[in-house]
Amino acid sequence: MQKYLKYIIPISIPLIVLLLPLSAFPFDGLTIIQQRVIAIFLLAALCWVFEPIPIYATSVVIIVLELLLVSNKGIYLFRLSEGQPHFGELLKYNEIMATFASPIIMLFLGGFFLAMAATKYRLDVNLARVLLKPFGSDPKFVMLGLMLITGIFSMFMSNTATTAMMLSILTPVIAVFGPKDPGRVAFALCIPVAANIGGIGTPIGTPPNAIALKYLVGDNYISFGEWMAFGVPFVVVMMALAWMLISFLYSADQKKIELSIKGKFLKTPKAIMVYVTFALTIILWLMGSSHGMNSYTVALIPVAIFSLTGIINKEDLKKISWDVLWLVSGGIALGLALDKTGLARLVVHSIPFDAFSPYAVLFGAAFLCLIMANFMSHTATANLLMPIMAALGTSMASLTPLGGEITLILVVTFAASLGMSLPISTPPNALAHATGHVQSSQMAKVGVVLGIVGVLLSFALVWLLHAVGHVG
């Protein structure tokens, strides 16, 4: 019976919500359309938690259900009472479908093309080889070098792909440590920790960042370079803390190791094209909109160049993480429904948040996100919380002195990426745990400390940037 619960619960609860009368809900003025969105939201949340189907499939189901139940081109029977009191506004079908081609999706697609080309032409491995040379043979400093390189790569590549690459480079090195040497734990653990932290540094580093950008528009708009202006310092400080913590907890007995990475930079025309395009794209991203293009437009430049030159061919296209793109698009569609139907605002206005201290709201939201992110996908967590946080930030006047909506969104986004206490928390954690060198308790010891410290640090950073006028 227990194994069927993960199917029964996600289906039964949304169905019950659909069948309830509007008077059963604690919200004044709830419409039929909003009731349907509540059911879709609960279905998404429960499917992302229990995973009866793959999490990317849940996103596709969200979009299809929105098209069928709450769009102006949905099933006719579900639109019979259109125009009646308490029915609500139907969403435009083309706006729901457009989530598959949202600018956020294009930003990620550009990032995937860059990462794939870098791996295909060994730019990532060769950069690692060159950049690790200055760190010598002391295990403590070699680990620092590995963490910095992993963090840099994960800003522009998938955290999972970065972890897989760095762990494969490390395999012969870890074998040098004795079976009881804590250095094994330190080296295997430092890679996923650095990848999880490093992804915070850029808008394309991890899906929660891209989801946050969807809500940072208008007066709250943050460019690629502006994100890095606060993201990179946060990453540097967190990386230093993580290095000191891991070094303290799992200090290596062996005093000297040799890190041997073979290879050299390719000098073929296509390889040179990859190097130039990679550098050009990053430079254009860092220049913000001073050249007239936003980060979404710039992201499609490598897509065009690599497709035109054959650097990325049709076989490579099959290897793109389409599941991640679908997952993000489902979150955008969910946010669209919560926003356009007015449900997010209705829920937020129904709770007297203004009666609470703005600090209590910020801390509560961040730590709720941190806890959720430890037990479910970071992207799914951000997808669920971000539209509600955006509505809360807009409506809560007492948050304005602290930066308002932008502060709330940023601290919750950072918290989503800091959930890394368990092997199931992130794919990088799972990869490290699969090596057999890291136990769950060892991962939790580091992950819990870094999660709590990271959330507190994000408050301090965003408050400081708001105080000097860079955000909010």
> For the segment 93-142, what is each residue's pLDDT rounded down to a tens digit?
999 999 888 887 888 788 888 888 888 888 877 777 777 778 777 888 88
In the predicted structure, residue 7 carries a pLDDT above the cut 90: no
pLDDT of res. 320:
83
Which amino acid makes up residue 439? Q
Give the model confidence (pLDDT) of 451-464 as tens digits. 999 998 888 877 77
Residue 382 resides in a domain: no
Lowest model confidence (mean pLDDT) among 193-202, 230-239, 240-249, 321-330: 321-330
Q: Using pLDDT thresholds of 50, 70 and 90, give the confidence band for residue 467.
A: low
In the predicted structure, residue 231 carries a pLDDT above the cut 60: yes
Range of the domain at 175: 103-206+221-320
In the predicted structure, residue 364 carries a pLDDT above the cut 70: yes
Lowest model confidence (mean pLDDT) among 50-54, 161-165, 255-259, 407-411: 255-259
Q: Using pLDDT thresholds of 50, 70 and 90, give the confidence band for residue 397.
A: low
Neighbours of 24 (CB within 10 A): 11
Q: Using pLDDT thresholds of 50, 70 and 90, give the confidence band for residue 1.
A: low
Which amino acid makes up residue 91? L
Yes or no: say if 335 and 387 are a contact pair by the CB < 8 Å rule: yes
pLDDT of res. 402:
61
pLDDT of res. 97:
94
pLDDT of res. 279:
87
pLDDT over 70, % of the chain: 93
More confident residue, 347 or 192: 192
pLDDT of res. 239:
95
Lowest model confidence (mean pLDDT) among 9-13, 319-323, 413-417: 319-323
Residues 51 and 194 placed together within one structural domain of the fold: no
Q: Using pLDDT thresholds of 50, 70 and 90, give the confidence band for residue 439.
A: confident
Please state, in angstroms and rounded to a whole number, the distance separating the CA atoms of residues 428 and 413. Answer: 18
Give the model confidence (pLDDT) of 70-105 as tens digits. 999 988 888 877 777 788 889 999 999 998 888 878
Q: Using pLDDT thresholds of 50, 70 and 90, give the confidence band for residue 470.
A: low
Residue 382: Cβ-neighbour burial (10 angstroms; 0-12, 13-18, 19+): buried
Please state, in angstroms and rounded to a whole number, the distance separating the CA atoms of residues 433 and 422. Answer: 9
Residue 450 resides in a domain: no
Residues 94 and 116 placed together within one structural domain of the fold: no
pLDDT of res. 134:
80
Q: Using pLDDT thresholds of 50, 70 and 90, give the confidence band for residue 403.
A: low
Residue 190 resides in a domain: yes
- Find, among 324, 41, 335, 392, the residue nearest to 214 by Cα: 335
Residue 408 resides in a domain: no
Span 289-310, average pLDDT = 86
pLDDT of res. 466:
62
More confident residue, 257 or 447: 447
Q: Using pLDDT thresholds of 50, 70 and 90, give the confidence band for residue 288.
A: low
pLDDT over 90, % of the chain: 21
Residues 76 and 107 placed together within one structural domain of the fold: no
Residue 172 resides in a domain: yes
pLDDT of res. 165:
76
Between CA 197 and CA 203, with CA 199 as vertex, the angle to 5 degrees is 140
Q: Using pLDDT thresholds of 50, 70 and 90, give the confidence band for residue 60.
A: very high
Which amino acid makes up residue 298? V
**Interhelix angle for 103-120 vs 139-156, to 10°?**
130
Q: Using pLDDT thresholds of 50, 70 and 90, give the confidence band for residue 159.
A: confident
Residue 282 resides in a domain: yes
Residues 6 and 33 placed together within one structural domain of the fold: yes
Span 285-295, average pLDDT = 75
Residue 421 resides in a domain: no
Residues 312 and 328 placed together within one structural domain of the fold: no
In the predicted structure, residue 400 carries a pLDDT above the cut 70: no
Residues 158 and 70 placed together within one structural domain of the fold: no
More confident residue, 329 or 404: 329
Residues 181 and 243 placed together within one structural domain of the fold: yes
Residues 175 and 313 placed together within one structural domain of the fold: yes
In the predicted structure, residue 174 carries a pLDDT above the cut 80: no
Residues 308 and 329 placed together within one structural domain of the fold: no
Residue 292 Cα to chain centre, angstroms: 27
The most confident of 91-105, 210-224, 232-246, 447-461, by mean pLDDT: 232-246
In the predicted structure, residue 449 carries a pLDDT above the cut 80: yes
Neighbours of 350 (CB within 10 A): 14
Residues 145 and 254 placed together within one structural domain of the fold: yes
pLDDT of res. 303:
93
Residues 63 and 175 placed together within one structural domain of the fold: no
Residue 410 resides in a domain: no
Lowest model confidence (mean pLDDT) among 28-32, 33-37, 348-352, 462-466: 462-466
Domain stops at, among 350, 367, 389: 350
Residues 303 and 327 placed together within one structural domain of the fold: no
Q: How many domains does the chain have?
A: 2
* Residues written for the chain: 472
- Find, among 198, 246, 211, the residue nearest to 382 by Cα: 211
Q: Helix (H, G, I), strand (E, B), or coil: what is residue 71?
A: strand
Q: Look over the chain and give the mean of its residue pLDDT values, rounded to a whole number.
A: 83
Q: Using pLDDT thresholds of 50, 70 and 90, give the confidence band for residue 469.
A: low
Span 59-71, average pLDDT = 93
Please state, in angstroms and rounded to a whole number, the distance separating the CA atoms of residues 174 and 243. Answer: 17
